[in-house]
Amino acid sequence: MLQVKKHKAWTVVTVGFVILGLAALLGTAACGDVQESTVAKDSAPTTAAPAMTSTTWAASATTVATPAGYPDDDGYYSGEAGGGIDQAVAGTLTALQAASGQKIISSAHLEIEVEQGKFQMVFDQAMMLAARYGGYLVSSDAYASGEEDSMKSGTVAVRVPSGSFAKALDDATKIGTLKKHQLSTDDVTEEYVDLEARIKNAEANVSSLLALLEKAETVDEILYVRSVLTSAQGELESLKGRMRFLEENTSYSTISMSIYEVGAETLEDEEDWGFIAALKGGLRNLVKAFNAIIRGLGILIPILIVLAIIAYIIYAIVRAIVRRNRAREQARYQAYPEGWRPPATAGMTPAGGPQAAPAAAPAAQPAGQATAEAKPSTGQAPQGEEPREPGKQG
């Protein structure tokens, strides 16, 4: 009995842990951290690409002023400022945009701080920056700080036409206090020109193979030319795909912005290895785990109630069927009164064994003889004489 109780207790504990685990998973999947994320498809607009030339960019055209102490070998210009882009970077952007016919992929990342309570307004302005200059939104993410419900920080990525890159970047720096900026450029003019030549050769090769396929007479010739033609067409499509990629990325420039309110947590704050910060992070994660479990239970409890009702109905039906079958089995036998035992047969005990013969009763004696034996007469007749009956003489 004790083992059965222990088994039931362990079963209840296991079921409880399973329910809590499911609740935690459902709560985490349903809510998780308070986050608002919208992602736009990175698709190119339908505007026509500008005319391309096969001339190379002279080295003197790329020589622009760069901030002191910043390397320019890899095309990166970065720095920190209290607001606005410095004159050197502005001059760099002007020179890059003025270089007609060059294929340059440019992108910028800005870190902007705003006053408390103004994050949502600045965040909306950053997203509208793309529409203002004929570009499109790439992605936007907004986050709450700690356990607060209001959004305090987020990121926005937009793409604008390369001709408007400098103006859009200047407007982006004015929506808040610029804390950090990074500009990156990549000159792909040489690759673009090489692709143009390779595409022309590939197209000529495909045209020749098509003409040769029309002149083929035997089946073997047709199969061979067709296999070579398929390979040439695949190479041509690959070159055209790379060309479209370069045209898209040189026609539109990317501006990504990290926006946050004063005092809001940023990614750099999360990298603190201090004991207090770790303790706060652990407590915060513990509270989030409990919140996730509670949210999961809110989702799981209605489901468990429905399943419990269904299980009870099934149990009641099965129990009724078992009772009915048991009653049918019992109805096959006659009901006997309590304490009744089957009668014993001749030579058999009630239990079915042989019956012992009853002991012989003593023979009955006449009443007078019994009295005489009980009370013998004091006077006895002499030996050899018959006793006389009472009342007779002589």
Q: What is the DSSP string of 325-351?
A: HHHHHHHTS----TT--PPPPTTB-TT
**Cα torsion angle, 287, 289, 295, 298, sign:** negative
In contact, 292 and 28? CB cutoff 8 Å: yes
pLDDT in tens, 60-92: 233 333 333 333 444 444 444 444 454 455 445
Helix, strand, coil shares of the chain, percent, nearest 5, are 50, 15, 35
- At 94, which amino acid appears? T
Q: Give the pTM.
A: 0.45
- Secondary structure class of 249 (helix, strand, coil): helix
From the list 163, 169, 156, 159, the residue with the least C-alpha distance to 136 is: 159
In contact, 112 and 177? CB cutoff 8 Å: yes
- Give the pLDDT band (50/70/90) at residue 37: very low
- Distance between CA atoms of residues 185 and 102, nearest Å: 12
Location of structure tokens 């020109």? 193
Question: Region 336-362: what's the mean pLDDT?
Answer: 54
What's the confidence (pLDDT) of residue 237? 94
Q: Structure tokens of 24?
A: 């935690």
What's the confidence (pLDDT) of residue 284? 80
**Domain spans of the chain?**
8-33+276-327, 34-41+61-189+251-275, 192-245
- Distance between CA atoms of residues 344 and 352, nearest Å: 7
What's the confidence (pLDDT) of residue 57? 31
